[in-house]
Amino acid sequence: MRVLSGIQPSGRLHLGNYFGAIRQYLELQEKGNECFYFVANLHALTSTRDKEELEKATLHVATGYLALGIDPERSVFFLQSDVPQVTELTWILNCLCPVSMMEKGTSYKDKVAKGLPANMGLFDYPVLQAADILIYNSEVVPVGADQKQHLEMTRDLAIKFNMAYGETFTIPEPYIIPEMAVVPGIDGQKMSKSYNNTIEIFQSDSSTKKRCSQIVTDSTPLDAPKDPEKCTVFALLKLLAEPAEVEEIAQKYRSGGYGYGQAKARLAELINEKFAPAREKYIQLEKDKDFVRDVLREGGRKARQVAEETITRVRNACGILTNR
């Protein structure tokens, strides 16, 4: 099946990105699916105004995905901005999209409530996302609970187009990620760059240890029993440790005599062990930016081929004449 997903280049990759999405993308790739993965740098313009920051973040995300295992021989990996057909389709879909549909967007309301400027790009974000999905004839889209509404909007727009102009688009299905991890940050909230509570993937071992030491815990004394299920450190340990070790640590929590400092130290060890190969590969790729750009360039070429076939069908269906 054809799978489509993208990630905004809004900062450094962290554990929430990996366990919430990238890990599942790698599994879908390993299962032999036809995967289209892209860096959503056009979407990033809704909140980023710094040219150098956006360029740097875009290359970081692309390099990080490759270091973590996205294989350009098995997946189409590219930049959103390298496929101009997407923005053309966005306009066409906008002409079918009811304003009321966008006004119901919970993601827009949440972001504005958190202080992002209420610009048209942010308001219209779901339509650009719909164009991303539909232009590659995507059959399934990996989503978490917070993204389901956008996929429902995509399906609605595809159905509206098909009803108006004839069967043109594949109607995508949600791929509800099993065991979709909600990864807590060092303050206990959902790990997010906007909360400045992340643990980065591509940082030094010592920086990882320092960041883990900053995880907020309660003041329960070392010797006293602790509830592992109410501890952010333990929640992160469950993502990284083997089941037997998770159970062993849980018993230590409940028995007392096991401090949060010990749990934090073990968490840092597990993070450093897990991502050591990816960190080494990331360093190598950083020294060969031309290779990363070549991968993105070739991925963009493949993506444009599919997108041009789709947009040609759309133009013909709508009656858009071109003299190309």
Residues catalogued as catalytic:
111, 190, 193
Cα angle at 318 between 315 and 319, to 5 degrees? Answer: 80
* Residue 279, phi then psi, degrees to nearest 5: -65, -40
User: How far, in Å, CA of 179 to CA of 76, rounded?
Assistant: 25
Is the separation of the CB atoms in 185 and 191 below 8 Å? yes
Among candidate residues 165, 94, 149, 144, the one with its CA nearest the CA of residue 124: 94
- Reduced to 3 states (helix: H, G, I; strand: E, B; else coil), residue 74 is coil
Sign of CA dihedral 289, 10, 37, 275: positive
Give the other-Cβ count within 10 Å of 244's Cβ. Answer: 8
Task: Locate 64 and state its tokens.
Answer: 């990080």
